[in-house]
Amino acid sequence: MITQEKRNQIIDLIKREVVPAIGCTEPVAVALCVAKATEMLGEIPERLNVRLSSNILKNAMGVGIPGTGMIGLPIACALGALVGKSEYGLEVLRDVTPEAVEEGREMIAAGGIDIKLDDKAPCNLHIDVTAICGEKSARAVISRSHTNFILLAEGEKIVFEEEVSQEETQAATDENEDIRLNLRLIYDFATTAPLEEIEFILEARRLNKAAAETALSGNYGHSLGATVYTKGAKYLGESPLRNMISYTSAACDARMGGAPIPVMSNSGSGNQGITATMPVVSYAEDINASEEQTIRALMLSHLTSIYIKQSLGRLSALCGCVVASTGASSGLVYLMGGGYEEICSAVKNMVANLTGMICDGAKPSCAMKISSGVSTAMMSAMLAMNGRCVTSAEGIVSDDVDTTIKNLTIIGRDAMQETDRLVLEIMTHKC
């Protein structure tokens, strides 16, 4: 039995990792850092020097910025300075207006925004911004997670500095000191916690479903969700799989296409939050699941995603849809009537299939990768419910499910580092 103290620790962890965000979290985190530096400067900067780790740069280059009709970092930086409020966290660009966008264009045209790769960044998630006006300057640094300020300075005066060991910085795996998860603990918590303690997860359903509906009635990104919804019946039938793919990819279309609406993120990623949420929500609605079943399935999905990210790290060469769709598969198994053993099988099936999918930055075509994750989640859940599971004789799957997850994260975090470097090199040197 899980004690109340341990339940509280898990709930605190979820509430830290499952939070609303407007826009792709990487450029938004840069805007947040700019906003903080600007606030300390006390006036709109004439120049911004922005130095970014490789994964931040990769994930911010090709994504739409909410409410602007523009893509990429320059407009995110400009709006962070002009209208950003650091108190909003990952909703820092909440107050964007057409007038602010026009001011942002002028700021970019003036040539005062200097964005460069920091090849000496101490970890994959690192943002260093200096705002300058005349002789005055202010500096803000975010590191290891999207809202974690480790340095604030006004000119030469250090206002705040977090002491971080070199070993901790190099690891940058975002391990939570309060509670270390495993799949058995996740299952027991999600299936036995008092409903009133965990029903807050339904906010993820509300926000991410609203994002999906926005895209289904609009024109965002590549409109994959709308295409699958309107054309998919011919090829997939009017099936739960069609609905899961269309609603999940539609929410991603809206987010990557710059829709000025919040989504519920998971472990610092809006797309991961969407993928951990929408397959479960869509399938639950199709089978007329009860509210309790939906809540517990969503908890399974989101907590499994958080668990994998604890050892993988915030940003890596491994596409986040691998992580979140593995969580979604756990939630689907629960909705299908499966228990712990079937969920273990589904997770192993997912690892056997999707391991190695690269992250080549946040962009509209992420919806396609998410769709691959959703369809694999359904297939893995169906196999598990039919008593089928990839064995330890195959690939990186082990008999123990937690070891299997560790094998996945070692590959994504360590073995794919050279892949990550080459991906960024290709992205930044395309003709």
Q: Report yes or no: 328 and 280 within 8 Å, Cβ to Cβ.
A: yes
Question: Tens digits of per-residue pLDDT, 25-44?
Answer: 899 999 999 999 999 999 99
Confidence class for position 233, pLDDT limits 50, 70, 90? confident
Question: Tens digits of per-residue pLDDT, 184-213?
Answer: 999 999 999 999 999 999 999 999 999 999
Highest mean pLDDT among 16-30, 239-253, 349-363: 239-253
d(CA 211, CA 255): 7
How far from chain centre, in Å, is Cα 385? 28
pLDDT at 169 over 50: no
pLDDT at 301 over 50: yes
Question: 138: which strand partners?
Answer: 131, 154
Confidence class for position 183, pLDDT limits 50, 70, 90? very high
CA dist 129 to 157, 187, 201, Å?
Answer: 15, 41, 34
Lowest average pLDDT, out of 86-95, 102-111, 312-321, 351-360, goes to: 312-321
d(CA 387, CA 408): 23
Lowest average pLDDT, out of 141-145, 165-169, 271-275, 335-339, goes to: 165-169
Confidence class for position 172, pLDDT limits 50, 70, 90? very low
Q: For the chain, give percent helix, strand, coil, nearest 5.
A: 60, 10, 30
pLDDT at 174 over 60: no
pLDDT at 145 over 60: yes
Confidence (pLDDT) at 175: 43
d(CA 228, CA 236): 9
Question: Tens digits of per-residue pLDDT, 351-388?
Answer: 999 998 998 888 889 999 999 999 999 999 999 999 99
Q: Report yes or no: 273 and 264 within 8 Å, Cβ to Cβ.
A: yes
Q: What mean pLDDT is predicted for residues 104-111?
A: 96
Q: What mean pLDDT is predicted for residues 269-290?
A: 97
CA dist 282 to 31, 165, 205, 265, 279, Å?
Answer: 33, 44, 10, 17, 5
Report the chain's mean pLDDT, rounded to a whole number: 92
Q: What mean pLDDT is predicted for residues 39-58?
A: 95
d(CA 61, CA 87): 25
Q: What mean pLDDT is predicted for residues 56-78?
A: 90
How far from chain centre, in Å, is Cα 17? 10
Confidence (pLDDT) at 176: 42
Confidence class for position 389, pLDDT limits 50, 70, 90? very high
How far from chain centre, in Å, is Cα 364? 14
User: Among positive and negative, which fits the CA dihedral 280, 286, 292, 293?
Assistant: negative
Predicted TM-score (pTM) of this structure: 0.88
d(CA 87, CA 62): 26
Confidence class for position 167, pLDDT limits 50, 70, 90? very low
Q: What mean pLDDT is predicted for residues 290-310?
A: 97
87 DSSP assignment? G
